[in-house]
Chains A and B, each alone.
Chain A
Amino acid sequence: MFTDELGQGGNAAGGPDNSAGHHSGTGESLVQLITPGGERVSHPQYDAWVREVTDEQLGSLYEDMVVIRRIDTEATALQRQGELGLWPPLLGQEASQVGSARALRDDDFVFSSYRENGVAYCRGVDLADILKVWRGNASSGWDPYTVNMATPQIIIGAQTLHATGYAMGIQNDGADSVAVTYFGDGATSEGDVNEAMVFAASFQSPVIFFCQNNHWAISEPVRLQSHIRIADRAAGFGIPSVQVDGNDVLAVMAATREAIERARHGGGPTFIEAVTYRMGPHTTADDPTRYRDANELEDWAAKDPIARVKGLLERKGLLTEQLEAQVAAKADAVARELRAGCINMPDPQPLDIFKHVYSTPNSWLDRQEDHYSRYLASFGDPAGANSEEGAR
């Protein structure tokens, strides 16, 4: 029923040599500003959105991507060493996350899935807080209001509605912020994502639908989710869309900036499909060799998002020893801080299980807490801090 030939534009258009004929919009080819070889190519519509990106800023984007990859690698190692229960690697998606997150203002608000740990880094989330949920120390890591980013959503696509509602609130407040929601190609099959687009279009809310098409929803290829290019679906909702090379940090930034400007000025929602690739497993519990071809991985390795910025910096004569040393030192420092923050994270206390279920006292739960604390106290440890239920 589904074949490789059937119209999944992302597969075909993502090829390393595809650098000609860029247009945005329905049915047109993907936007690329840096080729996989590191060559800056011009684009009539999107050049303008990154024209003022300075050499220094380009170096900074490079640094972000290297650091995020290092966070990802370190977290995977921590999982393998038993320090994390699970980790969802973002390897290969660094440009999609950095290019979009660095286009946001502080007062914009992000609603993401669980793989946007690179976005969380860009929003300024403390490193250890990124790991908290994966270590099992809390059901989320940070106060959303300190960084204007909701904590990771695990239910696929649910957060797109939260972003849309938040954007409706922005409209009511007469503010010019925007909401951005991140989700994957698999999520586009969910009812919530489609309903979010209906609401966003009807109310013309300032929300950006940022879809990272990383080609795989655990073991299911993107062609199982969509018979047409994902970006082309947006037209059916009356939402402008663009398909962008998700491994090209400048193209992603340009498309995101365009969408944000539209939203800030009353132009309503935009759908961005960032065509990228999940180089790693779905999570550390997954084994992609069971369902995908090694050749495909090789093809995408040739389009690596970091290599191409590095190539561009080199061509521009900006890849100095000093820059390389500075970036490496930063990545090392971040990795050390991440690891230390993870290992030294204080364990939660047994009675924390009852905290924050409600914001005001609840007679049912208060009774259960009282009974459980008496039970723990029966071991001679009133706080229950040192007893480990189930260890007897």
Chain B
Amino acid sequence: MTQMTFARAINSGLRKSLENDPKVILMGEDIGTLGGVFRVTDGLQKDFGKHRVVDTPLAESAIMGTAVGLAYRGYRPVVEIQFDGFIYPAFDQIVSQVAKIHYRTQGDVKMPITVRVPFGGGIGSPEHHSESPEAYFTHTSGLRVVSVSNPQDAHTMIQQAIACDDPVLFFEPKRRYHDKGEVDESIDPATALSMEKARVVAEGKDVTLVAYGPLVKTAKDAALAAADEGVSIEVIDLRSLAPVDFATLEASVRKTGRLVITHEAGQSGGLGAEVAASITERCFYHLEAAPVRVTGFDVPYPYSKLEMHHLPGLDRILDGVDRALGRPNSLSGLEG
């Protein structure tokens, strides 16, 4: 076990993938000489060369489109999109090509492309640097979407994503890049928990709180705070956003009877809606209350002085937990 930052843990996972498979190739803006604007790819070009860690021109659609061509040629491209809000120029290539080519060619052409996206807010940035676009991609068939919440998962799951024969959108919580954690680099990604499985990160019996990426830490903090008030929260780190591991969620909700889901992305049409609907369909008679969503607002990501109002924090999450439990909360007395 080694103490390392989130960013370093991904770097180490990328290094292992580069070492283990000569077909792995990293592409993106500023990822080579500079080592990425968050230094996630630091030192990799120096060690693996310019043909395996490629500094590309500034054109996201082209980065994605050339990754498609490389995949056609048998490569496993790992693409870095510098910031969440810069992924939209690549949207067409992701949705119309990366996601569909395996289906289009009836399985003849695989698209083992990993798209790394630093996402989410909380770093005081200007517009386009703090977005949570994951639902665009969870709604797109043909893609797998994951988000990591801690250095160990980041290290293991980046290797699992790269090894996966399907395209994977890999959402990295940028505000956690500098958080440190214990990482066991000897864990074999092939035998580790599949990236498609959710994980219960804190056991509880009163309410199920589902989070992913940057909010898993916040959710765990909320569970600790609630315990002081005698409320037992079960926290689940979703990890896989598409497909969602509903079996794990269902088992938890059957036990607790209450569900709260939280994400930074806006509420309407978001992942919380899918989780709430699916869990309601699957275990309606085990629910004691309507599922509760604690999310960002349906606004463009706000200017940074206001972002802490937008981002679900510990207190807003606990307010949502109170709603699920029928305890006094900020909406008490409101009908519907």
Q: Which partner residue on chain A sits nearest B107 by CB separation?
A: A356
Mark interface residues in A127-162 (1 if CB within 8 Å of B CB, else 0).
000000000001110011100001100010010111
Would you call A357 and B103 a contact (CB within 8 A)?
A: yes
Binds A, one of B37-45, B117-125, B242-250: B242-250
Query: How far, in whole Å, are A357 and B109 apart by their CA atoms in the complex?
Result: 12
Query: How far, in whole Å, are A162 and B245 apart by their CA atoms in the complex?
Result: 33
B300 at interface (Cβ–Cβ under 8 A)? Answer: no
Q: Which of A173, A196, A360 contacts B73 (CB 8 A)?
A: A173
Q: Which partner residue on chain A sits nearest B244 by CB separation?
A: A364
A124 at interface (Cβ–Cβ under 8 A)? Answer: no
Within 8 A of B (CB), among A185-224: 191-192, 195-196, 198-199, 202
Q: Which partner residue on chain A sits nearest B69 by CB separation?
A: A165
Q: Which of A169, A179, A358 contacts B166 (CB 8 A)?
A: A358
Would you call B105 and A144 a contact (CB within 8 A)?
A: yes
Query: How far, in whole Å, are A150 and B105 apart by their CA atoms in the complex?
Result: 9
Would you call A143 and B105 a contact (CB within 8 A)?
A: yes
A170 at interface (Cβ–Cβ under 8 A)? Answer: yes
Given contacts A166-B72, A359-B102, contact A202 B57 (CB under 8 A): yes
Query: How far, in whole Å, are A199 and B93 apart by their CA atoms in the complex?
Result: 16
A344 at interface (Cβ–Cβ under 8 A)? Answer: no
Given contacts A138-B106, A192-B65, contact A364 B70 (CB under 8 A): no
B96 at interface (Cβ–Cβ under 8 A)? Answer: yes
B142 at interface (Cβ–Cβ under 8 A)? Answer: yes
Q: Which residues of B contact A171 (CB under 8 A)?
A: 51
Q: How many B residues, CB 8 Å from partner?
A: 48
B68 at interface (Cβ–Cβ under 8 A)? Answer: yes
Within 8 A of A (CB), among B48-104: 51, 56-57, 59, 61-62, 64-75, 77, 89, 92-93, 96-97, 100, 102-104
Mark interface residues in A351-386 (1 if CB within 8 Å of B CB, else 0).
000011111101111000000000000000000000
Query: How far, in whole Å, are A360 and B71 apart by their CA atoms in the complex?
Result: 17
Given contacts A199-B56, A356-B103, contact A165 B61 (CB under 8 A): no
Given contacts A158-B92, A192-B62, A199-B59, contact A358 B142 (CB under 8 A): yes
Given contacts A151-B105, A199-B56, contact A357 B62 (CB under 8 A): no
B216 at interface (Cβ–Cβ under 8 A)? Answer: no
Interface size class of A (residues with CB under 8 A): 35 or more
Q: Which of A150, A155, A355 contacts B106 (CB 8 A)?
A: A355
Would you call A158 and B166 a contact (CB within 8 A)?
A: no
Would you call B103 and A191 a contact (CB within 8 A)?
A: no
Q: Shortest beta-carbon distance, A191 to chain B, in Å? A: 6
Would you call B108 and A144 a contact (CB within 8 A)?
A: yes
Q: Which residues of A contact B287 (CB under 8 A)?
A: none
B141 at interface (Cβ–Cβ under 8 A)? Answer: yes
Given contacts A155-B96, A172-B25, A364-B244, contact A165 B68 (CB under 8 A): yes
Would you call A158 and B62 a contact (CB within 8 A)?
A: no
Would you call B69 and A166 a contact (CB within 8 A)?
A: yes
A168 at interface (Cβ–Cβ under 8 A)? Answer: yes
Given contacts A143-B105, A169-B74, A172-B51, contact A162 B57 (CB under 8 A): no
Q: Which residues of B contact A362 (CB under 8 A)?
A: 144, 243
Mark interface residues in B172-208 (1 if CB within 8 Å of A CB, else 0).
0000000000000000000000001000000000000
Q: Shortest beta-carbon distance, B73 to chain A, in Å? A: 3
Q: Which residues of A contact B141 (CB under 8 A)?
A: 357, 365
A122 at interface (Cβ–Cβ under 8 A)? Answer: no
Query: How far, in whole Å, are A173 and B71 apart by their CA atoms in the complex?
Result: 13
B110 at interface (Cβ–Cβ under 8 A)? Answer: yes
Q: Which residues of A contact B92 (CB under 8 A)?
A: 155, 158, 192
Q: Which of B69, B89, B97, B103 contacts A164 (CB 8 A)?
A: B69
Q: Which partner residue on chain B sits nearest A198 by CB separation?
A: B57
Q: Shortest beta-carbon distance, B71 to chain A, in Å? A: 8
Q: Which residues of B contact A164 (CB under 8 A)?
A: 62, 65-66, 69
Would you call A356 and B66 a contact (CB within 8 A)?
A: no
A244 at interface (Cβ–Cβ under 8 A)? Answer: no
Would you call A162 and B108 a contact (CB within 8 A)?
A: no
Mark interface residues in B125-169 (1 if CB within 8 Å of A CB, else 0).
000000000000000011010000000000000000000111000
Query: How far, in whole Å, are A202 and B69 apart by their CA atoms in the complex?
Result: 16
Would you call B102 and A169 a contact (CB within 8 A)?
A: no
Query: How far, in whole Å, are A358 and B103 apart by their CA atoms in the complex?
Result: 7
Q: Which of B70, B164, B246 contacts A166 (CB 8 A)?
A: B70
**Shortest Cβ-Cβ A-B pairs, 10 listed:** A165-B69, A161-B65, A169-B73, A165-B66, A195-B62, A166-B69, A364-B243, A162-B69, A356-B107, A143-B108
With A192-B65, A365-B141 known, 12 other A-B pairs at CB within 8 A are A139-B104, A139-B106, A144-B105, A144-B109, A155-B96, A158-B65, A162-B97, A165-B66, A172-B51, A195-B65, A358-B142, A362-B144
User: 28 A–B contact pairs at CB < 8 A?
Assistant: A138-B106, A139-B103, A144-B72, A155-B92, A158-B65, A160-B65, A161-B62, A161-B69, A162-B66, A162-B69, A164-B69, A165-B66, A165-B72, A165-B73, A166-B70, A166-B72, A169-B70, A191-B61, A196-B62, A356-B105, A358-B102, A359-B165, A360-B164, A360-B166, A363-B196, A363-B246, A363-B247, A364-B242
